[in-house]
Structure 1
């Protein structure tokens, strides 16, 4: 009598190996790394507390770590006492904010990402040339608030969609420029720009793309893995624009995606019945959280990790004057 044969585990069950595709690039970009370093160096130089206007970057883990070191996060300069230093977040601030800090005699350090500052300078140049600016972005996002605040009221018009473009009624349609928030969906922005150029053939755009290299690279990396995966997990905060865009990129390719902040957010039911899972992280999420999430996945199923590299990043931004010696 033949011995009974063992049945192979069904694909996607808890005992079968899960293929985990890890996107690269992922996580911290040069602007985020610089902003966090600025707060740390300010604490080294001035001692605690150092006040930070708005979250330095949109990640609770990062913010809590800096709080533990002595940073105090506030939403308004009115919450900053006299005589203590204040850091402006990586998203940028309206011109009125440093002006108010100077009027109060506050020492401030501007941690605005240099790529956001570049958009600010482009806005000023277009305005000085007498052109009205159409700004593509998400209403209420700190970067958008900061950029709109570089110019007098009425100098810029915000659009969020192709439908908004159709509703535009500029006073001088032949004298327009457009700029964009740095953390948008590459595909969405392309559609909006195309609509603008169709409606206003004379509109002038920036010499190079405003969407930052890190945002573009992370979206491209998700595109490279999403088609091979049954599910994509994006590590990032719910108020992080670039992280939300990564979720959208995967979903538009037909792959379900979940935004998580920590390993504890991983659900066992997500991992049931799938053979391959993609993992990436928004530009404000540290690599520590990537490992935490992967370890949480491995607690539910055996995994085989694969890193999928679509670009190499070596961008480094200089620190503000005055902090270099502390480094």
Structure 2
């Protein structure tokens, strides 16, 4: 397709825009925490790990004066704030920060904190905790790090459930990562309940409202379109799950892209309908950028397909709220 073709020569493309999409309340809170800290304290503000999994967002904050580090030993002795990412951290991290006298601000998503508290409550009641999640993901590392070694058993698949060897099958509970595939998680939880009928469940599902809502929108749109684009970073769990959901819902061409420059245009030459969504850490400006890129090549007609309304709001971490009020 020639990008310089006249408007009359452009083929029509029906774009179905999923709603909800993009930023969730936890991501907004985490990004706002960094920006508010920069306003109140001035740069630098140190951030342990990417505040959210989106390169565009991280680079924007870096230009404003945020310094991203992998571990606290990269932070000098300083009075500058050190912010923990939305994914949560093991208990050892705030302990290390306190030991060094660092001014730590915890931007962990409140829904992740809920999982941490559930896990600790079960452990205090004498239960081994089974965590459904992806090994190595920061949220999983943080949740497992709330309890002593061996207190949490990680399962990623139904096959893992079959191999579980808990110390006491009658004293088990499960929690889940907040950004998983709803359908995959249901299969794993069903397997847990079938093998361990007495296993204690969360009072409310751990997969967060935003993950669930974005997946439901994709399930509705994906069967209706020739191709599906998920705007998000490769290291974003919820974005990867949206791509998988689109594939399972019947869309033969599903791709995860960060920017318009990542689009392989050779794949999209013959499509007449396109679904677009965005992971919970992807800003709307990137969705608009991608629609504009398609509009250079197609006569684009955009329709929003909404499956839920979101009005969730999380206030800033208390340290920043107190400073803002002064």
Paired with 1:147 and 1:99, the residues of 2 have a C-alpha distance of 15
User: What does residue range 22-33 of structure 1 map to in structure 2 within 5 Å?
Assistant: 22-33=17-28
Deviations 1:159-179 (A, max 9, x none): 000000000111211110000
Question: How large is the Cα RMSD of the aligned pairs?
Answer: 1.1
- Who is 1:18 aligned against? 13
The answer to whether structure 1 residue 318 and structure 2 residue 308 are counterparts is: no
- Who is 1:5 aligned against? none
The answer to whether structure 1 residue 154 and structure 2 residue 180 are counterparts is: no
Q: Is contact 1:44-1:326 (8 Å) kept?
A: no
Runs of 5+ in structure 1 lacking a partner? 1-12
- Who is 1:187 aligned against? 183
How far residue 211 of structure 1 moved from its aligned partner, in angstroms, is: 0.1
How far residue 271 of structure 1 moved from its aligned partner, in angstroms, is: 2.3
User: What does residue range 246-257 of structure 1 map to in structure 2 within 5 Å?
Assistant: 246-255=242-251, 256-257=253-254
Paired with 1:96 and 1:268, the residues of 2 have a C-alpha distance of 46
TM-score where L is the length of structure 1? 0.95
How far residue 15 of structure 1 moved from its aligned partner, in angstroms, is: 2.6
The answer to whether structure 1 residue 64 and structure 2 residue 59 are counterparts is: yes
Q: Which runs of 4+ in 1 moved over 4 A?
A: none
- Who is 2:305 aligned against? 308
Paired with 2:94 and 2:264, the residues of 1 have a C-alpha distance of 44
How far residue 322 of structure 1 moved from its aligned partner, in angstroms, is: 2.6
Q: Is contact 1:178-1:205 (8 Å) kept?
A: yes
Q: Is contact 1:229-1:278 (8 Å) kept?
A: yes
- Who is 1:51 aligned against? 46
Local SS of the residue matching 1:218: helix
- Who is 1:8 aligned against? none
Paired with 2:9 and 2:144, the residues of 1 have a C-alpha distance of 51
Q: Is contact 1:87-1:111 (8 Å) kept?
A: yes
Change (3 A) 1:298 1:175: same
- Who is 2:108 aligned against? 112
Q: Is contact 1:268-1:300 (8 Å) kept?
A: no
Of 176-185 and 295-304, the range deviating more from structure 2: 295-304
- Who is 1:138 aligned against? 134
- Who is 2:4 aligned against? none
User: What does residue range 219-298 of structure 1 map to in structure 2 within 5 Å?
Assistant: 219-255=215-251, 256-298=253-295
Deviations 1:71-110 (A, max 9, x none): 0000000000111220000000000000000000000100
Please say which structure displays the higher CA radius of gyration. 1
- Who is 2:5 aligned against? none
Runs of 5+ in structure 2 lacking a partner? 1-7
Paired with 1:139 and 1:14, the residues of 2 have a C-alpha distance of 49
How far residue 14 of structure 1 moved from its aligned partner, in angstroms, is: 6.6
TM-score where L is the length of structure 2? 0.95
Paired with 2:129 and 2:320, the residues of 1 have a C-alpha distance of 34
Local SS of the residue matching 2:16: strand
